[in-house]
Each structure stands twice: as C-alpha cells, then as structure tokens.
Structure 1
Amino acid sequence: MEFLKLAKKRYSARKYSSKKVEEEKLLKILEAGRVAPTATNGQPQRLVVVQTEEGLAKLSKGAKIFGAPLAIIVCADHDKTWKRPFDNMDTADIDASIVTDHMMLQATELGLGTVWVCYFDPEVIRKEFNIPENIEPINILVIGYAEGEEVSPDRHNQTRKPLEETVYYETF
C-alpha cells in the first residue's frame, strides 16, 4: 500500500471484536518494531506482549484497552538509550514512540485496528508485569479487529491543521 494512503487510513479504534489476532500477524507487527530506527541503533525497546485473559485483566488495572484481544506494552531500557550531550536529553520516549508507530502502521496494513495509549498508570503496569526499575513503560499499543464504522481517510481535511499552520521554512 502507498505510504500516505496507509497513514491516512490509520485511526484510533476504541471498540474491538473478541477475535484473536493471528500469530503470523503478531509476528509481522513485532518485526516492524524490531526494524524501527532508534538513536545510535541502541535498540532500547522492550516489548511485553499481552494476549491472555489473565494478562489483559492485569493490564486493565492500569490502562483502558477497549476490549481488545491484544496489547503491547512498549518499554525502553534507560541503560541502552542515547543521551544528547548538549542537554543530556534521554531518547527513551522518542525511540519507544518510533517503535510504536512502526507497529501501529504495520497492524493497519494487516487490516487491524489500533489505539496508542499513553494515559495509563506506569506504577500499576510496572507492578503487574514485573518490569524492572531501569525499564520504563512508555506506550501501550492496543490491537485487534476493530468494530463499528471505519473512519474515512479523507477526515484529515477537516481534523488536521493545514501545513501553513505547522510548517516553517528556513526559520520559525
């Protein structure tokens, strides 16, 4: 699929069928995350795949997952992230988000719905999934077969600001 068409097709699905995501699709999604670029190729991402009833119940204690049959907790290992020398900015959030985006777009290309969840209690997630202290849960990618009406790819003409409001050439 042409990339821009794929990017416009993606939307945040907040209702899912109980149909499980096939293993071959999950592996393609995980591979898309594996090949995502990270700062200095540090590959700090650590992914927790949650798909059992027990695991999804644990995840629901700290995050809304909209009844989806699959979620990936996208974490970053702070011992593996690059730090910008000028201000010591840690790239954990950036790297984890690039990985999340790659997996989200791959899921869309496979006909699955997704929603990127940042509104979650990290301490609950850390406790429920035994996440070590140096590993930070950054995002949760909820995945499944979306139910309800598909959102029009043309919606961006109404919901997104025009380029003129967000793009600057040569100077701000």
Structure 2
Amino acid sequence: MNFLELVKNRYSCRAYQSLDVEKEKLDYILECVRFAPSAVNKQPWRFHIVNGEDDKAKLQQCYNRDWFKTAPMYIVASILHDEEWVRADGKHHGDIDIAIAVEHLCLAATEQGLATCWVCNFDSVMCKELFALPENEEPAVIIPLGYAADEVKPKNRKGIDDIVK
C-alpha cells in the first residue's frame, strides 16, 4: 500500500474486536514511534502500554465511554515537559512533538492491520493521579489499539484549493 492509501485507510475507530494485539505488531509500531521527529531531537515523550485488566479499568475511569471499553489495549502518550524544546519566544513544542509521534503510531498501526483513535478529551489530571505519573509528565493522548469491529467511514475533507494558497 502506498502512503496515500495508508492515510486514507487510517480512521478513528470506535469499535474493537476482543482479539489481543500480537507482540510483534506492537513492537513494530513502537519502533516506528521511536523514529518520529521532534524539535531539536529532544524526543520529550513517554508511551505507557495499558493492557492489564486492572490498569484498563483505571484508564476507563478517565474516559468513560462504552466504545472505549471495547479496546483490548491502550497506549497513553505523555509529554515530558522538562525535556521539551522551548523556542526563543517561549513557545513549548512538546504538544507538537507528541502529535507527530502519535500519528506515527496510528499510521504504523494501520499498516499492520490494526485500528486506533486519538482520544484527547479525557480527564488528564485523574489519569496522572491513577498512574502516579511524575510532576514533569503530562498525559496528552490515549490511543486505543486493536482490531477494528467497525468499517472505515468516508472522511469529509476540505478540497485542496481550500487548504493550499
């Protein structure tokens, strides 16, 4: 599959099969994440694998949606604020860097026949507390990961003339 086909196939999955994700596929996805670019190559991130029943139940408290509970595992992507690059005008780039790394994760998962969804509307304070994350670490995105139980839905995208000037 070429890159355009890959990005067209990636979508926000909201229904997962109960099948486990194979270790080889997870390792491949995480290796793709490891090579994501970041400002000044700081790599100010940490990825937490959440797949034990107790930890999954804790994480589900942070985003209590029925569809979310169908995922067999999750990855919590965190920004390490004491490692992020800060531009001369004070702009912190951790949010940009984590976004690049998470999209590498989502595209690699799609290539491996798996599905994902960006979840940013969760209780990050509760997540930080439940998982005892250090002060410098901000959970920014939760990515459910697994085999889709739904189908790719057509994407409504702006035309090229609307986004390129």
Q: Which range, TM-score by smaller chain?
A: over 0.9
Q: How much does 1:66 deviate?
A: 3.9
Segment of structure 1 superposing worse, 64-73 or 93-102: 64-73
Q: Pick the aligned partner of 1:90 from 89, 92, 99.
A: 92
Q: Does 1:151 align with 2:152?
A: yes
Q: Secondary structure at the match of 2:118?
A: strand
Q: Does 1:73 align with 2:76?
A: yes
Q: Pick the aligned partner of 2:132 from 130, 133, 136.
A: 130
Which whole-Å CA distance do the structure 2 matches of 1:140 and 1:67 have between them? Answer: 14
Unmatched tracts of structure 2, length 5 or more = none
The letter for the 1-side match of 2:3 is F
The letter for the 2-side match of 1:8 is K
The letter for the 2-side match of 1:130 is A
Q: Secondary structure at the match of 1:151?
A: coil
Q: Does 1:31 align with 2:31?
A: yes
Q: How much does 1:106 deviate?
A: 0.4
Which whole-Å CA distance do the structure 2 matches of 1:127 and 1:18 have between them? Answer: 28
Structure with larger Rg: 1
Report the equivalent of 1:103: 105
Q: Deviations over 1:103-145 (max 9, x none)?
A: 0000000001111100100111001111111111111111101
Which whole-Å CA distance do the structure 1 matches of 2:152 and 2:82 have between them? Answer: 40
Report the equivalent of 1:167: 164
Q: Secondary structure at the match of 2:70?
A: coil
The letter for the 2-side match of 1:47 is F
Report the equivalent of 1:8: 8
Which whole-Å CA distance do the structure 1 matches of 2:135 and 2:56 have between them? Answer: 22
Report the equivalent of 2:57: 57
Which whole-Å CA distance do the structure 2 matches of 1:110 and 1:137 have between them? Answer: 25
Which whole-Å CA distance do the structure 2 matches of 1:128 and 1:33 have between them? Answer: 25
Q: Deviations over 1:33-53 (max 9, x none)?
A: 111001000011111110111
The letter for the 1-side match of 2:37 is P
Which whole-Å CA distance do the structure 2 matches of 1:21 and 1:55 have between them? Answer: 17
Contact kept, 8 Å, 2:79 with 2:98, in 1: the verdict is: yes
The letter for the 1-side match of 2:152 is V
Calculate the TM-score normalised by the size of structure 2: 0.94
Which whole-Å CA distance do the structure 1 matches of 2:2 and 2:127 have between them? Answer: 36
Deviating beyond 6 angstroms after TM superposition, the runs of 4 or more aligned structure 1 residues are none
Q: How much does 1:167 deviate?
A: 1.5
Q: How much does 1:75 deviate?
A: 0.4
Calculate the TM-score normalised by the size of structure 1: 0.91
